[in-house]
Structure 1
Amino acid sequence: MSDAILSPAQTARALPFSALAQEIAALLQDPTVAVPPRIVQPLDGGGSLFVMPAADARVAITKLISFIPGNAQRGLPTIQGDIVVFDVQTGQRVALLDGPTVTARRTAAVSLLAAQHLATRRDGPMLIVGAGVQGRAHLEAFREGLGVQEVWVSSRSSASADALVAHAQALGMRARRVDDPNAALADCPLVVSTTPAQQVVLTALPRSDAFVAAVGAFTPRMVEWSADVCRHLAQTGTLVVDTRDADHEAGDLLQADIDVSALPTLADVVRQTQAWQDASRPEGGPVFFKSCGWGGWDLAAARCLRHTQQG
Structure 2
Amino acid sequence: MSLPAFCATTGMLDAAATAARLPWSGLADEIAALLRDGSVAVPARSMLPLAHGGSLFVMPATDHSVAMIKLITLTPGNAGTGRASIQGDVLVFDCATGERRLVLDGPTVTARRTAAVSLLAARLLAPAPQGPLLIVGAGVQGRSHAEAFIQGLGVREVWVASRSSASALALAAQVQALGAQARVVADADAAAPHCPLIVTCTTARRVVLAAAPRPDAFVAAVGAFTPAMLELAPALCRHLAQQGQIVVDSPDAGHEAGDLLQAGLDVAAMPVLGDVVQGRWTAGSGPVLFKSCGWAGWDLAAARLAMRTAMHDA
1:292 aligned partner: 293
Counterparts of 2:177 and 2:81, CA distance in 1: 28
* Deviation of the 1:27 alpha carbon: 0.3
2:58 aligned partner: 51
Aligned partner letter, 2:46: I
Aligned partner letter, 1:244: P
Pick the aligned partner of 1:113 from 97, 116, 120. 120
Deviation by residue 1:244-293 (Cα, 9 ceiling, x = unmatched): 000000000000010000000000000011xx24xx33xx1100000000
Deviation by residue 1:69-124 (Cα, 9 ceiling, x = unmatched): 12113221111000000000000000000000000000000000000000110121
- In structure 2, the gaps of 5 or more residues are 1-5
Counterparts of 2:49 and 2:263, CA distance in 1: 24
Report which stretch shifted further, 192-201 or 215-224. Answer: 192-201
Aligned identity (percent) is 63
- Give 1:28-39 correspondences, 5 Å limit: 28-39=35-46
SS in 1 for 2:101: strand
Counterparts of 2:310 and 2:15, CA distance in 1: 16
Residues 1:245 and 2:252 are matched in the alignment: yes
- Give 1:183-198 correspondences, 5 Å limit: 183-198=190-205
* Deviation of the 1:197 alpha carbon: 2.5
- In structure 1, the gaps of 5 or more residues are none
SS in 1 for 2:226: coil
Aligned partner letter, 1:30: D
Pick the aligned partner of 1:202 from 209, 214, 238. 209
1:301 aligned partner: 302
Deviation by residue 1:7-48 (Cα, 9 ceiling, x = unmatched): 000000010010000000000010100000000111222221
Deviation by residue 1:218-254 (Cα, 9 ceiling, x = unmatched): 1111100000100111100110000000000000000
1:68 aligned partner: 75
SS in 2 for 1:70: helix
Counterparts of 1:299 and 1:197, CA distance in 2: 27
Residues 1:143 and 2:144 are matched in the alignment: no
Aligned partner letter, 1:101: T
Counterparts of 2:238 and 2:81, CA distance in 1: 36
Counterparts of 2:240 and 2:129, CA distance in 1: 20
Aligned partner letter, 1:270: V
Counterparts of 1:45 and 1:287, CA distance in 2: 37
1:175 aligned partner: 182
2:86 aligned partner: 79
- Give 1:267-286 correspondences, 5 Å limit: 267-273=274-280, 276-277=281-282, 280-281=283-284, 284-286=285-287
Q: Which TM-score applies when normalising by structure 2?
A: 0.96
SS in 2 for 1:45: helix
* Deviation of the 1:64 alpha carbon: 0.3
List 4+ stretches of structure 1 deviating above 3 A. none
Q: What RMSD in Å do the two structures reach over aligned CA positions?
A: 0.9
Counterparts of 2:204 and 2:222, CA distance in 1: 9
